[in-house]
Chain A
Amino acid sequence: MLPGLLILAVFVFWPLIYSIPLAFTDYSVVGDMHFVGMKNFQKAFSDSDFIAALKNSIQYVIIVPIIQLISLAFAVALNQKMRGVKVFRTLFYFPVITSTVAVSIVWSWLLSSGGLINKILLGTNILSEKISWLSNDQTALWVLMFITTWKGVGYYMVIYLAGLQSVPGELTEAARIDRASSIQIFFKILIPMLKPQVVMCSLMSVMSAIKVFDEPFVLTKGGPGNSTLTASLYIYQKGFQNFDFGYAAALSLILSVIILFFSLFVKLYNRKK
């Protein structure tokens, strides 16, 4: 236990402790540092870009229940004994291992105005004119949310598959004999049995949704306008592109409070259940 705590202390807690006081300075790494009091926080609350970014990050949380339900369903479906199940598991895991750069090249290509997705939607008359999915301020964020879901379900599927191994087979067998439907088994037996995993995955999922960075970073850079600007992306831009680490640290603290709030919500919600 000791080495683990020591490593965490040095490489996780120390940077955290280090960055809290930074929020009250104009630290830039490359230049001199001055104490600025609450100025960074005052600036944050009147910073319309940051507010917009927070809104987008919170909107992103919508994908959490969707990802969790899909990955649970995948895990249950692929936990059966059937021919080729291993192959399907591997195929479902592919988005997780495809690198972010590759994901961005392929998806921006599929989603471009002349891309395959527009061709299919036009061909089937679902759309009457093509949409530049990632350049339209109405669709861009939803598209990113879709891509995150696509990339994330395989990840949680693995955790649920591991969790399912501790669910005794007799339990579902018995339910089946009692003529319970698959859906009933799913919601009444499997989900309660997997509760620790569901709580853990939901928590992780909430945190990574609010902190989402990769997809807007590689696909839209936050645009058009502020429509896909997320809090993490904005903080990154303030820190690593503007060298405004003091302000970035202040924004991080504000974001932490929000994540804390959502995490408590997830915990309380599950406790009630």
Chain B
Amino acid sequence: MFNIKKKIAVSAITMGLVIGTMGCGAAPSTAQKNDGDKETIEFWTISLQPTFNDYFEKLIADFEGANPNVTINWKDYPKDTIQDKLLTSIASDNAPDVVNLNADMTLTLGDKSALANAEEFISDETKNSFFDGIYGATKVEDKALALPWYTTIPIIYINESLLKDAGIPTENYPTTAAEYYDWAIDVKKKTNLYGMAMEANIREILGSAGVPVFNEDYTELLINKPEAVEVIKEFQKLYADSANPKENLDQETRAQLYNSKQVVSVYSGTTFVNKFKTTAPDVYQNTTVIPVPFEHSVTTTMYLGVPDKSKHKEMAFKFAEFVSNPDNQLEFSKTANTIPSTKKTIEDPYFKESDGSLESQIKIAAASGLEKSKEIPVPQHILEKVNRDLQDILFNDKDVQEGLDKIVEEVNKQLKD
């Protein structure tokens, strides 16, 4: 009944065949991509469906109307999976043509030469339309790895009712970093709540303070210089005084602390309001916002990159330029409450209009921070390590100079590899 030997032999041969057919490398399978003269551009975004379907359907229809031989194929993936999806698609030679990336990912992909150089394809007019601090951040060795798209600017959310309860004035909020730190310590003393919530990462702590983090080409980390040491020591004190919570402050944790009224002010982006508007209506009513009192507003920008393996680079960049042009960015800002990365867009009166809601306060505070905006990307391949080690120094009161020296040494070694 069971002729095992024979069956094993057969299965071994079949296995060999399967492996054999797969072993011959990734042969391009482009047959379905070209449909006569029509070019299909595959466009990937991060977590925008289904909320903004209407906006994108119109955007795509406009572009297709102007370029009749092009079809845009829009796909959307959640933040946590887009990277794996991108990796597998590049591996199987089905790379998308335009892909939504954050700055960290852009640098890491650029490091592996996986992105096309935008400078070769886009006009000078486009190049100059973006804020320099944002466009320049992903430019490495004169190669522009991606075009900036929508961005988020940090602001400070303050729960005023907690201040009132402790008799702290709800006006004349801090306008410099030093004032803000003192204020946070004072608030902690009077309310016995955390005065502020900033995460122990180089972007928020060192980037905001205006301390240079990297050299221009991201080949060297610079955070062991005296000015960096000073800022870190300042923060060690804030942690030691419990003015800032010793937590891994992702957006969810910030929301937990803010909603549970354990923290009086929170440093976060413009979309943070969604985390408490419906879940903590009481907090929403008592919240006010101020621009960040720091040297820089450290933006978190979404970029549009074109994989080097794309077969339609020219058209892909044309579409990326279209999506990120000032008019379309303005429209998107109005739809999604985001901040644009183009200089012209921000001059629109929309960014100064207020209807008295918290959302318009946020919009105005954020727009006012654009002048000092700066994108501070940390190549994804060293991001986690740097932040982990920085946390250790801050949370567990390690020696600052020694700790930073160690980070710099280890990371620079890794960057040179």
Contacts and interface: CB of A to CB of B under 8 A. Distances in A.
A and B touching (C-beta < 8 Å)? Answer: yes
Interface of A: 1-2, 5-6, 9-10, 14, 17, 28-32, 48-49, 105, 108-109, 112-114, 132, 134-137, 219-227, 229, 237, 240-244
A104 to B, nearest CB: 8
A24 B322 CA distance: 43
14 contacts: A17-B19, A30-B112, A31-B112, A49-B410, A108-B248, A112-B245, A112-B247, A112-B257, A135-B248, A136-B395, A137-B396, A219-B248, A240-B83, A242-B380
Interface string B382-408: 011101110110011000000000000
B256 A109 contact: yes
B14 interface: yes
Given A10-B18, A112-B257, A243-B108, A132 B395 contact: yes
B66 interface: no
Contacts of A240: 83-84, 87
Contact of A108 (B83, B87, B252, B387): B252
B246 interface: yes
A113 to B, nearest CB: 6
B260 interface: yes
Given A28-B112, A49-B385, A221-B248, A9 B11 contact: yes
B384 A222 contact: yes
A219 B257 CA distance: 16
A136 B381 CA distance: 24
Nearest to B406: A48
B388 A221 contact: yes
A230 to B, nearest CB: 13
Contacts, number: 120
B24 interface: no
A114 B7 contact: no
B11 A6 contact: yes
Interface core residue of B22, B90, B247 (most chain A CB under 10 Å): B247
Given A14-B22, A30-B109, A30-B114, A221 B384 contact: yes
B246 A223 contact: no
B381 A244 contact: yes
Nearest to B309: A30
Contacts of A224: 388, 391-392, 395-396
Contact of B253 (A112, A222, A243): A112
Contact of A241 (B7, B252, B262, B381): B381
B391 A132 contact: no
Contact of B395 (A30, A108, A137): A137
A240 B80 CA distance: 11
A270 B87 CA distance: 43
A223 B15 contact: no
B257 A223 contact: no
B388 A132 contact: no
A14 B19 contact: yes
Contact of B392 (A1, A6, A137): A137
A30 B105 CA distance: 13
B391 A134 contact: no
Given A9-B18, A108-B253, A227-B392, 9 more contacts: A2-B7, A29-B91, A30-B109, A113-B262, A114-B260, A132-B395, A135-B395, A224-B392, A225-B391
Interface in B233-257: 245-248, 252-253, 256-257
Given A9-B18, A243-B381, A135 B87 contact: no
B396 A29 contact: no
Contacts of B384: 221-222, 237, 241
A112 B197 CA distance: 14
B113 interface: yes
A209 to B, nearest CB: 22
B10 interface: yes
Nearest to A222: B388
Interface string B89-101: 0110000000000
A240 B392 CA distance: 24
Nearest to A46: B413
Given A137-B392, A222-B384, A31 B113 contact: yes
B200 to A, nearest CB: 8
B289 to A, nearest CB: 23
A30 B247 contact: no
Contacts of B8: 5
B415 to A, nearest CB: 11
A229 B381 CA distance: 15
A135 B390 CA distance: 12
Interface in B92-133: 108-109, 112-114
Contacts of B392: 137, 223-227
A226 B396 contact: no
A198 to B, nearest CB: 30
A5 B22 contact: no
Given A6-B11, A29-B90, A136-B396, A220 B248 contact: yes
Nearest to A10: B18
Contacts of A132: 245-247, 395
A237 B253 CA distance: 22
Q: Which of A48, A219, A223 has the most CB of B within 10 A?
A: A223
B410 A48 contact: yes
Contacts of A9: 11, 15, 18
B245 A225 contact: no
Contacts of A17: 19
A31 B246 contact: no
Interface string B60-88: 00000000000000000000000110010
Nearest to B382: A242
Nearest to A108: B253
Contacts of A223: 248, 387-388, 391-392
Contacts of B380: 241-242
Which of A113, A114, A136 neighbours the largest number of chain B CB atoms within 10 Å of its CB? A114
B388 A135 contact: no
Contacts of B387: 221, 223
